[in-house]
Structure 1
């Protein structure tokens, strides 16, 4: 079966740089950081008081854009069974659909679907307050033997639905009557590229005409933040450098935590043209690869090099054809070294020619939410014909032999860019997109 062309017709994002596309684009263009002193957690109790919080997102129904009355009623009713990550994901998807001009009735429900990436989702401690208190004895000690009889009845019956990683795709499909392919992917930061790639292939092979693809994630969370500080290479301290994400820079101090969600609407070219949709870009290649060493440790450099090679082979392009690479750019030493090694392996003689930009320098690591937001950033940059610089990049790390874009530079609207993300476990995803 001949593969169909897959185009992008809508975008939506919730990030530390705002909730609408114009605000997001303006922040990138102006070099405005969304990283600031954390507000949702006790900053003084953390090893670092900085984070990229999506402060504009409150979970109010107005955050979901201009939804019709029936959708508004349905979304509002279900807010109580959505944790913040799910709410952000659904809001980004609704905004993407609105941006695309697609409304129920404009598409065949049976040939329309949703594919979403996410992190594993963690419960907040408050969910178990009453249940735990019910199991305390006279000495204020927790008695586990009383949990089944006294604790469990105090937990909200629908508690688990608030934290299942398949719920963003489920809610978006239900709210928009999309009965076709539906999938959820949990590969940490690689989730976004994997979701976009799966969505592209689903349409290309003829199994759907429309797919809402996206991802949502957080590192700003009562429980998840504790996990991040224990497991991830986070910048610690309260000095100025500790509040900056500086990918590939010699003076970087580590990762900055953040939260956000992004979504794009993908359609077959025929479907988009038939309804007169404005085409924003075309997904022309995708890949997801895993690198693993003999000693059972991740080989991220190999995974990155392979993902870039496969995505570009899929797209029918060579390294020299790439307008820019939207890098993972975590801002920690080993991660940046691995990424630079994988990219230079792939780029070869073009390593000092192809511009590399790292948008996490603007908002930190949003977990699974990063990848789609970064794709949106590149698409908006192409529309403006101006690629933003990597914020704060001033002292190149000699171990990262890449052409990191430090200042804004002119680009064409129809060039090809590749978005790259990878997980600490060695899973890398790459998406090749041509602008219009």
Structure 2
């Protein structure tokens, strides 16, 4: 058992793995961020033209097909295990497993190189929803002369579903697959908290190591806003960008002329490791997680107050990290690109950081790839870690006209990332999460 009087242990990031619209290699992702190259293109996932859907462009992971080559360079035994498991993985789970394998390879962690009892996983996700193809055969069997008979579903339609169908969509499956494939026997958890899932997963992994319950944790999230059922929800409840825009110019966080969010998909993980453990094996260090904050604020009608929630979470993360506002190098914002969302986020930054909130550079990487759902936070976290490593803060794409209602300093590509940053995420329901990270 850990000593309750002992000082918290330091926690560093030693590996990064991403599957996002900018690519699945860290070098490719950084190349796009550093050069201002967008990953938002015409949407191929949905039948936009034939169905007249308002999602003409999106951040799609076109490079990710689910082929075993997408999971990185693997030993034959692990290749065999992943191939066997693919039949019970939906696309989000496949991307999560791939991101984890890429992160572990980046960290230099292989089978037998660490104590499996001291290694664990925390993975976040959106709600995982079935794709229509899963129901097609059953629906056909219950349909006669164009009419679907609901009374036949239980006896005729259901037996057309694959017996392992449910396993593909359980939100705890990404963490389960990652742990089984790598024989990680330590703490394991799954979080479903929409866009805050990434920060909350990394935050839980951080505290798990800090209190001595593990030495190594894989943490991150996977998500989508462009598979059919999730896309319908985004179209019904989200504020989508003007569909007449050029795809690469559609997402305009904090710009006065922003029109809404762009939907996307992706996954990302980081390897968190206790500092002395990482140092002993000669691991490279991207940065050190020093604080985490979260807050949920909603009224009696369950309408989220994102401004108050973010201000609370920022303040909590700064306290946890013992980091003064004036020492924050940059902020990696939620930056959804919606009118009210960006305005409330900017107000929260100014409230929580005081005078520093007006001058600290703020970047939003959703301008490169859209809203990846639960995965957004960790992919954006990876972007800031790479910014620290390379000494360059990616600009917020498409930021041309400052919005006086925001009153913050939006990154233009000319500012330094500094030696520390805050990663902000928030949901429409008023759940906010913030990570504080310093250079390694």
Q: Give me the TM-score of the superposition, normalised by structure 2.
A: 0.96
The residue aligned with 1:433 is: 437
The residue aligned with 2:39 is: 34
The residue aligned with 2:209 is: 203
Deviations 1:39-88 (A, max 9, x none): 12223222131101011111100000011111100001111111111111
1:326 aligns with 2:326: no
Could you say what the CA RMSD is over the residues aligned between the two structures, in angstroms?
1.2
The residue aligned with 2:26 is: 21
Q: Distance in 1 between matches of 2:248 and 2:107?
A: 39
Change (3 A) 1:410 1:242: closer
- Structural mapping, 1:278-427, within 5 Å: 278-412=284-418, 415-427=419-431
Report the Cα offset of residue 164 of structure 1.
Answer: 1.0
| Matched positions, count | 433
Q: Distance in 2 between matches of 1:164 and 1:8?
A: 28
The residue aligned with 1:43 is: 48
For residue 267 of structure 1, the aligned residue among 270, 273, 279 is 273
Q: Give me the TM-score of the superposition, normalised by structure 1.
A: 0.97
- Structural mapping, 1:12-91, within 5 Å: 12-44=17-49, 45-91=52-98
Deviations 1:160-212 (A, max 9, x none): 11111111100000000001100001110000000000000000011111100
The residue aligned with 2:124 is: 117
Structure 1 unmatched ranges of 5 or more: none
**SS of residue matched to 1:198:** helix
- Structural mapping, 1:113-152, within 5 Å: 113-137=120-144, 139-152=145-158
Q: Distance in 1 between matches of 2:240 and 2:249?
A: 10
**SS of residue matched to 1:97:** helix
Deviations 1:264-318 (A, max 9, x none): 0001112111211111111000012111135532111111001000011000011
Q: Does structure 2 retain, via aligned residues, the 8 Å contact 1:326–1:378?
A: yes
Q: Does structure 1 retain, via aligned residues, the 8 Å contact 2:361–2:415?
A: no
Deviations 1:104-149 (A, max 9, x none): 2111111110000110011101101111111123x33111111111
Q: Distance in 2 between matches of 1:336 and 1:258?
A: 18
The residue aligned with 2:174 is: 168
Q: Does structure 1 retain, via aligned residues, the 8 Å contact 2:38–2:248?
A: no
Change (3 A) 1:141 1:260: same
Report the Cα offset of residue 242 of structure 1.
Answer: 8.7
Change (3 A) 1:124 1:295: closer
Q: Distance in 2 between matches of 1:244 and 1:410?
A: 26
Q: Distance in 2 between matches of 1:12 and 1:27?
A: 16
Segments of 4+ moved more than 4 angstroms: none
1:96 aligns with 2:100: no
Q: Does structure 2 retain, via aligned residues, the 8 Å contact 1:131–1:150?
A: yes
Q: Does structure 1 retain, via aligned residues, the 8 Å contact 2:41–2:247?
A: no
Q: Does structure 2 retain, via aligned residues, the 8 Å contact 1:243–1:256?
A: no
Of stretches 322-331 and 100-109 in structure 1, the one that deviates more from structure 2 is 100-109
Q: Does structure 2 retain, via aligned residues, the 8 Å contact 1:48–1:236?
A: no
